[in-house]
Amino acid sequence: MMLHVNDISLSLGKAQILRNISMDAAAGELCVIMGANGAGKSTLLKVIAGEHMHYQGHVLLAGNELKSMPVAAQASTRAVLSQQLTLNQAFTVAEVANMGRFVYSTHLSSLDKEIVTYALKTMQVWNLRDRTYPTLSGGQKQRVQMARVLAQLLEAPDLHTTDYAGKKMLLLDEPVTGMDILHQQLSLQLATTLAASGVLVVAVLHDFQLAAAFASRLLLLKDGTIYAQGSVEEILTPAHIKNCFGVDVAVLEHPHCHYPLVVTAAADGLFKSPAEEAINVL
């Protein structure tokens, strides 16, 4: 799957949310989008997911303009994990995971069931399969959502046997929010493994360490535009982070791994005294 985003802009209501965004990503990449709250990350992901079809510019998926792709074709080529997905009805965990397969047919075949079982086991929520989804903890819910998108994406109950190059895209909006460190690692290793099988993965992350460890390419958004894009080393610099997040950091070398470590350099100084605040307001 090749994703080609060419000069897209998007308004929601009266506000222009995205401006002149261009990016390319290819099969096998794990492309991470970062940026401050409100920078436009989720909105960009939603455009790519086909949720905001009134964008200006072009979004090409494997050479096809997204706007002209039938909904069924879109659903069979990409799986989406959205932010703050609320499911208050009393579905069981297994039923939520089954939803990943309903995009193909309302009748689940034995292969569908095997894929769902495999997805639940991969995300270590098989033991929760009969629980009602709303009663789960935040991190458990997120793991079930990962199982659902995995069930949608896979064509076989195995991570390693299928070549997905040119066929599948996985869009993840803050997938590890609320997960403990083990399941954060598990989820991103899963994303990397899928990428190695040819899936194009685009993920919004807030955690610099996870981005540094797993991204093959980074996109930094600021105020609805692309501030910078490139390799982890090119993007995770103190200057870029200061400009996009307003925080002073130091970027160190990991003692064992090749990736950079981002640590905050100043623990205080973000809150000014009331007198200084007053001067800023004036």
Ligand X SMILES: Nc1ncnc2c1ncn2[C@@H]1O[C@H](COP(=O)(O)OP(=O)(O)OP(=O)(O)O)[C@@H](O)[C@H]1O
Binding site for ligand X (CB under 6 A): 12-13, 15, 17, 35, 37-43
Q: In this structure, which amino acid lies at residue 78?
A: R
120: which 2 tokens?
Answer: 């639940």
Looking at the Cβ atoms of 27 and 171, the one nearer to ligand X is 171
227: which 2 tokens?
Answer: 């501030």
Q: Angle at which helices 138-153 and 93-102 pack, to 10 degrees? A: 30
Looking at the Cβ atoms of 122 and 229, the one nearer to ligand X is 229
Provide, rounded to whole angstroms, the least separation between the CB of residue 118 and ligand X: 30
Provide, rounded to whole angstroms, the least separation between the CB of residue 28 and ligand X: 25
248: which 2 tokens?
Answer: 């002073």
Provide, rounded to whole angstroms, the least separation between the CB of residue 227 and ligand X: 12
Q: Do 83 and 111 touch, CB atoms closer than 8 A?
A: no
Looking at the Cβ atoms of 17 and 93, the one nearer to ligand X is 17
Looking at the Cβ atoms of 37 and 273, the one nearer to ligand X is 37
Residue 8's closest CA among 50, 37, 36?
50
Provide, rounded to whole angstroms, the least separation between the CB of residue 43 and ligand X: 3
What does each C-alpha distance from 71 to 46, 53, 109, 166, 190 come to in angstroms? 14, 12, 22, 18, 26
As a whole number of angstroms, the distance between CA 89 and CA 246 comes to 40
Name the one residue in this structure whose structure tokens are 């899936």.
Answer: 199
Provide, rounded to whole angstroms, the least separation between the CB of residue 188 and ligand X: 18
As a whole number of angstroms, the distance between CA 222 and CA 259 comes to 23
Looking at the Cβ atoms of 41 and 101, the one nearer to ligand X is 41
As a whole number of angstroms, the distance between CA 21 and CA 180 comes to 33
Provide, rounded to whole angstroms, the least separation between the CB of residue 12 and ligand X: 4
Looking at the Cβ atoms of 13 and 274, the one nearer to ligand X is 13
